[in-house]
Amino acid sequence: MLSYVEQNGIRVIVNDVELFFNATNGGEITQYYDLHVDPLRSKNLVNIGWNPYYNLLPLFASLFYNPSRPYNPNKLLSTGGDSNAMVKLIANTSEYVILQTSSRIMSLSGQIAKDVFGNVIYVNSTWIIRSSGLFSIERTFLVPTYAVIPSGWRWYPFYLTRKAGFNNNGMFYMFNTTYAYTSTVNETTYKDVFNLFSTLPDDAKRVFGVALPFSNVSIGGDGKHNILIAYKYDELVNVNEWRSDNFYWKANNVTESGAVHEFSKPTNVSTHTYHMLLNFTHQPINNQSVQSFANYHADNSSPSLLMKISVTTNKNSFKYGDYYSIHGSGISYYNLTTLTARLGVKNSSNLVVYQRNYGPGDIAAGQTFNVTLLDGTIGANSTPGDYAVSFQIFSQAGIVIAMDTKMIKIVAS
C-alpha cells in the first residue's frame, strides 16, 4: 500500500487499484487505473472532460442536478467543479491511508451552492483506505444555516461516473441486506425520468447499494474491477424514497450509477453526515455477495468512523452554587495525531454562551480516553434555562471527525 503527496493532490495505490485525488477537481478522483489488467496505466478509467459536463463528473462526486431541457450548465452543480479544493493526508501506515477533502459545490460557469443567507456550502469527506482494499467514505454536507432545494432538482450524494466498461448493455445490481436484483440499461431504453428509475430496495437494516459487474466479460463487461457501493439509508437526507440512476451510453463512452432523490417540493436541508462503503474487486459478484456487502456495512459502524466520543456531566440539572464537571471520553479506531478539540455551550436560542479550545496534547493519546474538560461552580449570575453542551474533535485538516451533545438545565434556587 502506497500513498504520495503530489503537486495537485494525493495518489494512492492499494493492491491493484491506483487513484489520484485531485485538489483542482474538488478533491475527487480524476485518475483511476486497474493495475491487474493494465499494469502500464495505459487507460485512465475516469471519464473526465466529456462533453457537456467536462470536469463536473469525475469518478465519484456529490451533485445537484435539474434535468430540465435544454441542457443548462448552471443546472448541474458538483463537488467536481471546485478548482481549489483541500486535499490532505492525515494518516499513512502499511495498514491504512486516511485522507480528507473539502470542496464547494459548483457549476461549469462558477456558480456556487449557498445556503439561504448566502453562506457557501461545503462537502467535507474522509476516505479510509485499508490494505485489504476496502474503502470507507464519510461525507458531511456542511450548511451554516439551511439550504432550500427547489422542486424538480435531484440530489446525488455519491455518484459514480467512469468510461463505459460495457459493450452493448450496462448491467447493474440493486441490493439491500435481504435481496438483490439486476437492471439492464442501453442507449435506447434509458429515460431521464425519475419515476422510471429503479427504486432502491430498503429493509430493516436501512442499507442499500448498487454494484457494477465490469469484470464479468460474459455479460459484456470490459474485465476491469467490479465496483460496489453501499449507502446507509437514514443518513442521506430525510426523504421517503431513493432510486438508482443507472446510465449507459456507448456513443458517449460513459457509464454512471448511484443513489438519487428528486425533490417534489421545495425542501429545507441542513448539515448532515452520511457514510458509504466502497469496494473495487475482481472477485465474482452475485446476489449473495452483494447482500453480504450490505450486511457488513449495516452491522459495522467502526469501519466508517475515525473516532467515537461522548460528552457527559455529573448531573442533568443544576442550581446556583452546584458543582459541575464536564467529561469527554471516547475511542480512536486509528492512530491519528495532531488532534484538536472544542467544548461549546449553547442556550435555547442556539447562541454560543461559552467556548473553549483544546490543542494537540490536551486530549490523552491512545485508543481510549476519558478527561475532564471543564469543572467549577454554577454562578449566581447564570441564566436559568436549557443548554446544549457539545464536544467536537478536529483532524489536523480542521475537519470535525467526531461530535457529541448533551442537554443540561440550570434552574433558579
Cβ atoms of 112 and 81 closer than 8 Å = no
Q: Can you tell me the mean pLDDT for 264-280?
A: 94
Omega before residue 52 within 30° of 0, cis: yes
Name every residue whose Cβ is closer than 8 Å to that of residue 95 and which is 6 or more positions away in sequence. Answer: 1, 130, 131
Element (H, E) at 232: strand 226-232
Instruction: Give 383-401 pLDDT, tens digit per residue.
Output: 999 999 999 999 989 999 9
Residue 52's pLDDT is what? 84
Say yes or no: 234 and 314 in one domain: no
DSSP state of 80: G
- Alpha-carbon distance of 25 to 11, in angstroms, equals 14
Half-sphere exposure of 171 (CA within 13 A, CB side): 17
Residue 149's pLDDT is what? 95
Cβ atoms of 216 and 173 closer than 8 Å = no
Q: Can you tell me the mean pLDDT for 67-71?
A: 81
SS3 content of the chain, % helix, strand, coil (to 5): 10, 50, 40
Say yes or no: 212 and 241 in one domain: yes
CA dihedral 353, 359, 362, 363 (to 10 degrees): 80
Range of lowest pLDDT (133-147, 253-267, 295-309): 295-309
158: domain CATH number is 2.70.98
Say yes or no: 210 and 341 in one domain: no
Say yes or no: 314 and 253 in one domain: no
Say yes or no: 117 and 62 in one domain: yes
In this structure, the chain runs to a length of: 413
Say yes or no: 342 and 223 in one domain: no
Half-sphere exposure of 402 (CA within 13 A, CB side): 22
pLDDT bin (cut points 50, 70, 90) of residue 65 is very high
Say yes or no: 387 and 256 in one domain: no
209, amino acid identity: G
Write down which residue in 284, 304, 324 finishes a domain.
304
pLDDT bin (cut points 50, 70, 90) of residue 350 is confident
Write down which residue in 287, 304, 321 finishes a domain.
304
pLDDT bin (cut points 50, 70, 90) of residue 366 is low
- The answer to whether the Cα torsion of 216, 220, 226, 228 is positive or negative is negative
Say yes or no: 297 and 157 in one domain: yes
Say yes or no: 253 and 111 in one domain: yes
Alpha carbon distances (Å) from 118 to 83, 121, 368, 397 = 20, 9, 40, 24
321: domain CATH number is 2.60.40.2550
Domain span at 187: 2-304
Is the pLDDT at 69 greater than 80? The verdict is: no
Residue 210's pLDDT is what? 97
- Count the helices and strands in the chain (H runs, E runs): 1, 31
Residue 141's pLDDT is what? 95
Question: What pTM was estimated for this model as a whole?
Answer: 0.93
30 versus 69: the higher-pLDDT residue is: 30
Residue 73's pLDDT is what? 76
Report the side by side order of strands in the sheet with 207-212: 86-92, 96-104, 122-130, 134-142, 272-281, 226-232, 207-212, 170-176, 180-185
- Alpha-carbon distance of 112 to 121, in angstroms, equals 8
Name every residue whose Cβ is closer than 8 Å to that of residue 299 and which is 6 or more positions away in sequence. Answer: 205
Cβ atoms of 140 and 60 closer than 8 Å = no
Residue 245's pLDDT is what? 96
Task: Provide the grid cell at 397.
Answer: 485538516
Residue 364's pLDDT is what? 55
- The answer to whether the Cα torsion of 268, 272, 277, 278 is positive or negative is positive
* Structural domains counted in the chain: 2
Write down which residue in 251, 274, 304 finishes a domain.
304
Residue 170: name the closest of 219, 218, 210 by CA.
219
Instruction: Give 145-201 pLDDT, tens digit per residue.
Output: 999 999 999 999 999 999 999 998 999 999 999 999 999 999 889 999 999 999 998
Say yes or no: 101 and 18 in one domain: yes
Say yes or no: 287 and 370 in one domain: no
Say yes or no: 390 and 350 in one domain: yes
pLDDT bin (cut points 50, 70, 90) of residue 377 is very high
- Alpha-carbon distance of 285 to 164, in angstroms, equals 19
Could you tell me what percent of the chain has a pLDDT over 90?
81
DSSP string, 26-58: TTEEEEEEETTT-TT-------TTBTTTBTT--
Arithmetic mean of pLDDT over the chain: 93
336, amino acid identity: L
Burial class (CB in 10 A: 0-12, 13-18, 19+), 186: middle
Instruction: Give 95-125 pLDDT, tens digit per residue.
Output: 999 999 999 999 999 999 999 999 999 999 9
β-strand pairing of 400-411 with 317-319: parallel
Range of lowest pLDDT (139-153, 211-225, 229-243, 261-275): 229-243
